[in-house]
Amino acid sequence: MIKLGDIAKDTVTGFQGVVIGRSTYLYNVDRLTLQPRELLDGKRQDSRSFDEPGVEFVSHSEVKAQTPASDSFYVGDVVRERITGFEGVITCRTRWISGCYTLSVQPQGLNKDQQPFEAKAFEEPDCTLVKAKNYKEPVRKVGGPKPEPRRPR
C-alpha cells in the first residue's frame, strides 16, 4: 500500500509526485493526491488526484506524514458542522499529510427544484457526530456453491 509521503506515479499520464492526500469515498475507490516536487517558473505546481489502483509506488521520501489529531468519523456517518449547522452524510474523507482530515458532507433530501443539495467540505474538528453508520461485518462465505462438507464424528 502506498503511504502518505511516498513518491508515486500515475500509470496513465506519468504524473509523479509526493502523496499528500488519501481520499476514501462512500461508494468509490480510494484516490491519492500527488504533489510534484519541482517548481515550474518559480511557482509550486498544482496537485492532482488519481484512482489508487492506477498509481504505482516509485520510492520512499524524506517527507513524513503527521499523526492525525483524531480518527472519529467514517464515510457514511451523519455529521453536523458546528458553526453553520450544515448537516449531511460523509461521502468522502481525506487524510492529508499534515495530519488533518477534510470531510465532504452531502445533505440528505432534495431542494425545492427536486435537485440534490450541493455537498460542502469541512475540517473534521469543526463537525460533530449526529448518527454513526451502522457497520456490520460482512458474512464471510467459504467454498463454492456446494454446501460445506461435514466432518465425520
Q: What is the pLDDT of residues 80-131, one digit of tens each?
A: 999 999 999 999 999 999 999 999 999 999 999 999 999 999 999 999 999 9
Q: What is the pLDDT of residue 28?
A: 85
In this structure, are 53 and 90 located in the same domain? no
In this structure, are 83 and 126 located in the same domain? yes
- The Cβ-side half-sphere exposure at 115, using a 13 Å CA radius, reads 4
Q: Kind and range of the H or E element at 25? A: strand 16-25
Q: Which domain holds residue 102?
A: 78-131
In this structure, are 45 and 88 located in the same domain? no
Model confidence pLDDT, tens digit, residues 13-62: 999 999 999 999 998 899 999 999 999 999 999 999 999 999 999 999 88
128 - beta bridge partners? 80
Q: What is the pLDDT of residue 145?
A: 63
Residue 136: inside a domain, yes or no? no
Query: Torsion-angle region of residue 49: left (phi > 0), alpha (psi -120 to 50) or beta?
Result: beta
- The total of structural domains in the chain comes to 2
Q: Tell which wins on pLDDT, 136 or 48.
A: 48
pLDDT of 67 > 70? The answer is yes
Q: What is the pLDDT of residue 112?
A: 93
126 phi and psi, to 5 degrees? -85, 0
Q: What is the pLDDT of residue 124?
A: 93
Give the least confident one: 1-10, 31-40, 138-147: 138-147
Residue 37: inside a domain, yes or no? yes
In this structure, are 83 and 121 located in the same domain? yes
Residue 2: inside a domain, yes or no? no
Q: What is the pLDDT of residue 30?
A: 94
